[in-house]
Structure 1
């Protein structure tokens, strides 16, 4: 038992010894490890002392590296516009050539290549513009060269686009024949829509580019100037023949012939201008911005407006040289240009209203001056007559004066405007007519009616004519009777021409009642007033009839007798017999021999004077309306007087016919033959 126990103790003792031995080894190992740790700690401190500065330098290097990367990125961003300039320069310089080729007539109908070429070209310019803006924002001195190069490149591109727009416009600006469109009442040709779209695109870019590149206020863009130059010349060249024709057609072969409405080509010329200007306004509106419409439109029309002004000046010189016959051309021009201005004012915004008014002013001034000139010419032509018809016939001067007034009726519109600006009587008419302008100067009557003013002017013309003719008749025609016949004949000719023409509704609208003495009578004017020209004609007719009737006072005076009521018995009621009939035998029987001789002498003198006046009357050249008028006037005076005188004293002749040549029926027949 003891042996196994010892064996077990021996094994355990051996294990303990092994454990102790291991512990000793572990202690030795621990000491070694501790020594290693001590050495490692010492080495770590040494390394730390050596690595610390290197680590700090590394951090600084990393920061520096990051900064360098950022600088490189900034440099790349700064260089990007410069690099882009190189790319865009190739597109701009080469792209324009491609664009021009794509715009050739051979591919005119292939719209896509043209549009894409133009859009790409402008897109390149837009990118260049943006690059320029970026460079300007950098404010780096080193970018100034690049900025200058980009600006030069943009200017090159802009000039090329101007050339493109110029070519587009030239393609569509070949002169046309305006008469084709005028005679067929067709609108003048406008630019094609595809060209308008491209021109609008070009103008929009150039306007924006100019606004960026220019520091000042640019009122006219290059595209606007190109448009105005090319299209303005196109209008002027197209209408040049019409301008020349307006002057040549105004010339006449007969110097005394009155101008006839429509003879000059000025109306056709104005139609051509209106058609061309309207078409141009329709072109301008979709191409340019609204605030540019008026400016571009005015610049485009300036050349043709100047040519129109020169044409009107040439016509004005012709009118002034032939004022009394061609003043009607001035009235026509005033009407045409005024209506043209009004239509364009409504259609295009009134941009041409003032220049058209300036161009018209010389002709309008001539038209104003012509009114007084015509009045003076009417007076002078009557006053310069060397002789007058000895039979009292009307003179051609009257027909000429009325022909002028008839011709004026075709221009009532412009004449109304001209006369309104002069004022009533401002043409130099009678200052005694109520409402007429004073002799010191005309006034502008804003409420005046043009037709009424024309009636006043016509009345002044007729009055001036008849006044001058009356003065001439007094100096040439010997008798007042002949003078009266002459005046009445001219009055009737004037009235007949008025009634048979367009003057009638203008001048004869008033009532026929009443009369108006001529302007020579104190306090009476020459105007037509509310009754038109009729009072003037009636007054002069009455004046002429009175002058003619003056000669018939002589035979009338022979038919007046004297009856004495303080003498002896006389026949009751003037010698009336049974039935109330005058008993001539009783009347004559009651006369003394001296009274009978006086009655015989009266009959003899009456016969002589009456026969002489009848003979003269039949020798007068009387208008068909004048003959019954004068005959009736004589009959109303002579027949009652002679009838009474014959009833009382015809028995003084005892039926022999020696003294009493006419009985009442014979006298009535003779008087009736005067008409």
Structure 2
């Protein structure tokens, strides 16, 4: 047993010895490795100390190389505008009249972009290039302006507006292609103007447009301006202006048509904020010519105010309507047209008081009247004036609202050229037609007051004076009813009725004389009074109760009545009366005289026992004579 154990221990001891031998080798190897690592660390530090400066220099060289590359790139970039300038200058120095406009505009765009880039670089070395490119853009933009102007001029030959008016055609407008081309050019010109800091309200292209198209409009309207002034001249100094005989309506219609067409052109070419200023600038010259024409008309009207004031009303009406239409269509031109109207509007205001004063003066200064009481031509003239005024109600009512009710009673202050404002003139809500009716009645009453005074001065007898006044009233009423004055003056009928009653009373005053002869005295305390109506009266019994002296009085009354009555009948038939007046007066005389005579005749007709010596008319005969008066 001991032998095998010893063999096993010997084997394990041998393995231990081998392990120990390996361990010794490992320790020896470890020491060698540690010694190598120490030597390597020393070598690494030596290498680092040697290579460190070289690496730093390398980094700096890399940075320097990068900077050099950038400088070279900047130099190349700086050289590009100079190269580009030479290329674009060849394009921009030559106007593209027959060339490619899109290529020309592209060149301007490229030059403009290059200029923006140079300005953004903020390099001093670029200042010369910036100046050169800016000059090149100026040349290019000026060439574009010339193209813009030339293109406009091709379609700006003056026209004859009357042809458009008479044929009903629209006024010519620029074509869609031309408008698109002009719009493109305008955009580039406007952009350059904005970049160059131009402070004018209108861009160069807008000024060119206003000049070319403004001249086109002015020249086209020149003949109508001349025609308007020519048609205002009078062949007969006393003739009254006839509505529509002046060319102002055609002038204003052409003005409106051309301005509307121009506004449509402007909307297609310019930006929204430019529409109004460009339109005003374009129309300025023709508006000045239009205002001058209206001043010429105003001078003519003031020289012939009584006969030609209607021309002033027509001008106001026509131009006001044109102003309204243009304001509604374009939103512009209202104020310039209103300013052009101011002189003639003031003249129209003054005409109302002048016409009223003329009516008053003429009616009071009549020096002779016809002995038959016929109406004066003056009445017809005055009413014709009022009839003519009804054709101009819109302008007249506007003027009357500005004057206020009764503001026409006194002449306007001619020295200041404007009427004196009153509280009533601020009543903008006043009824214009009512004011016109008040003016008409003021005119009619001024006429009738003057005629009544002349009648009293120049005609003998209130009867004839009444006929004269009634005849003139009949003319007034007839001319009212046969015209547009009728509905306007319906509320004033009571005033005319008062005048008619006055005329009737004046005429009937003369018939009081025969009526006085038909009055008698009855003494009811002596005997019962005979019935005056409803029962037959016994004339013989009445006369029997009278004394001889009373009978003589009755005879005298019949005789005096006959003389007075026959005289008045004769005069009545010799008077020149309007049909309505004769019928009206005859009816009133019959109503007045017949009842009195019938009563008197019934009581006393037996005074001559039917011989007709004193009683010339029986009741039927007298009624027939009275009926013949109507």
Normalised by the shorter chain, which TM-score bucket?
Answer: 0.7 to 0.9
Choose the corresponding residue for 1:558, options 517, 521, 525. Answer: 517
The answer on whether the counterparts of 1:558 and 1:605 sit within 8 Å (CA) in structure 2 is: yes
What residue in structure 2 maps to residue 375 of structure 1? 356
**In the TM superposition, what whole-angstrom CA distance separates every residue of 1:127-157 from its partner, at most 9, and x where no partner exists?**
1111111221222222222211111111111
What is the distance in 1 between the residues matched to 2:371 and 2:493? 28
Residue of structure 1 aligned with 2:499, choices 500, 521, 540: 540
Matched ranges for 1:591-670 at <5 A: 591-670=546-625
CA distance in 2, matches of 1:499, 1:55: 121
Tell me the CA shift for residue 58 of structure 1.
Answer: 7.7
Q: What secondary structure does 1:443 align onto?
A: helix
Q: Deviations over 1:48-105 (max 9, x none)?
A: 99x99999878766654543332221111122222211211111113x2xx2024xxx
Q: Deviations over 1:413-442 (max 9, x none)?
A: 22222222222222219xxxxxxxx99774
Q: Is 1:100 equivalent to 2:97 in the alignment? A: yes
**Counterpart position of 1:171:** 154
- Render the CA deviation track for 1:311-348: whole Å, top value 9, x for unaligned: 11111111111111111111111111111111111111
In structure 1, the residue matched to 2:191 is: 208
Matching residue of 1:132: 115
Between 170-179 and 84-93, report the one with greater CA deviation. Answer: 84-93
| Residues matched between the structures, number | 574
Kept in 2, the 8 Å contact 1:391–1:620? The answer is yes
1:118 aligns with 2:101: yes
Superposition deviation, residue 572 in structure 1:
5.1
For each residue in 1:100-120, what CA deviation from the matched residue of structure 2 results, as whole angstroms up to 9, or x when unmatched? 024xxxxxxxxxxxxxx2121
- The answer as to whether partners of 2:111 and 2:137 remain within 8 angstroms in 1 is yes
Q: Deviations over 1:210-247 (max 9, x none)?
A: 11111x64421000000001101100100110011111
Q: Distance in 2 between matches of 1:336 and 1:605?
A: 68
- Rate the CA distance shift 1:184–1:439 in 2: closer, same or farther, 3 A: closer
Residue 279 in 1 paired to residue 276 in 2?
Answer: no
Does residue 363 in structure 1 map to residue 318 in structure 2? no
**Aligned CA distance change for structure 1 residues 74 and 399 (closer, same or farther; 3 Å):** same
Whole-angstrom CA distance in 2 between matches of 1:150 and 1:273: 45
Asked if residue 248 in structure 1 is aligned to residue 248 in structure 2, the reply is no
1:393 aligns with 2:374: yes
Which residue matches 1:581? Answer: 536
Shift of 1:498: 1.6
The 5-angstrom pairing of residues 254-269 of structure 1 reads 254-269=236-251
- Distance in 2 between residues matched to 1:289 and 1:662, nearest whole Å: 98
1:435 matched to which residue of 2? none
**8 Å Cα contact 1:570-1:590 kept in structure 2:** no
After TM superposition, the structure 1 = structure 2 runs for residues 168-567 of structure 1, keeping only pairs within 5 Å, are 168-214=151-197, 217-349=199-331, 351-428=332-409, 442-508=424-490, 531=491, 533-567=492-526
CA distance in 1, matches of 2:373, 2:516: 25
TM-score by length of 2: 0.87
TM-score, reference length from structure 1: 0.82
| Aligned-partner Cα distance in 2 for 1:190–1:316 | 33
Q: How does 1:58-77 map to 2 (within 5 A)?
A: 64-77=64-77
Distance in 2, matches of 1:545 and 1:52, equals 141
Greater mean alpha carbon deviation, residues 444-453 or residues 201-210: 444-453
Show structure 1 runs of 5+ residues with no match: 1-44, 103-116, 430-437, 509-530
Q: Is the 8 A contact 2:323 2:334 kept in 1?
A: yes
Partners of 1:424 and 1:445 within 8 A in 2? no
Corresponding residue number in structure 1 for 2:38: none
- 3-state SS of 1:603 partner: helix
Q: Aligned partners of 2:382, 2:394: CA distance in 1, in Å?
A: 21
Decide whether aligned partners of structure 1 residues 275 and 573 sit closer, same or farther in structure 2, where only a CA change above 3 A counts: closer
Q: What is the CA–CA distance in structure 2 between the aligned matches of 1:388 and 1:545, rounded to whole Å? A: 19
1:123 CA drift (Å): 1.2
Deviation of 1:662 (Å): 1.4
RMSD over equivalenced CA pairs, Å: 2.3
How far off its partner does 1:363 sit?
A: 1.5
1:587-623: CA deviations, max 9, x gaps? Answer: 1111112211211111121111111111111111111
Q: Matched residues in 2 for 1:324 and 1:63: separation?
A: 100
Question: Whole-Å Cα distance in 2 between the matches of residues 57 and 562 of structure 1?
Answer: 161
Q: Is the 8 A contact 2:404 2:422 kept in 1?
A: no
Deviations 1:181-218 (A, max 9, x none): 1111111000111111111001111111111111x644
User: For 1:451-494, what per-residue CA distance to the aligned partner results, in whole angstroms no more than 9, with x for missing partners?
Assistant: 22222221221111111111111111111111100000000011
- Alpha-carbon deviation of 1:536? 2.3
Post-superposition Cα deviations, 1:280-333, rounded to whole Å, max 9, x if no partner, equal 000000100001100101111111111111111111111111111111111111
**Alpha-carbon distance in structure 1 between the residues aligned to 2:423 and 2:558:** 60
Task: Tell whether 2:106 aligns with 1:147.
Answer: no
CA contact 1:416–1:453 (8 Å) conserved in 2:
yes
Distance 1:81 1:642, change over 3 A: same
- Conserved? CA contact 1:211–1:218, under 8 Å: no
- d(CA) in 2 for partners of 1:190 and 1:418? 37
Partner residue, 1:511 = none
| SS, match of residue 651 in structure 1 | helix
The answer to whether the 8 A contact 1:571-1:586 is kept is no
Q: Is 1:156 aligned to 2:129, yes or no? A: no
Q: In structure 2, how many angstroms separate the alpha carbons of the residues matched to 1:69 and 1:654?
A: 157
Partners of 1:619 and 1:252 in 2: CA distance: 42
Q: Which residue of 2 aligns with 1:524?
A: none
Counterpart CA distance in 2 for 1:85 and 1:221 is 26
Residues 572 and 275 of structure 1: CA distance in aligned 2, closer, same or farther (over 3 Å): closer
1:84 maps to what in 2? 84
1:500-535 Cα deviation digits (max 9, x unpaired): 222223323xxxxxxxxxxxxxxxxxxxxxx2x322
Structure 1 residue aligned with 2:25? none
**Is contact 1:81-1:134 (8 Å) kept?**
no
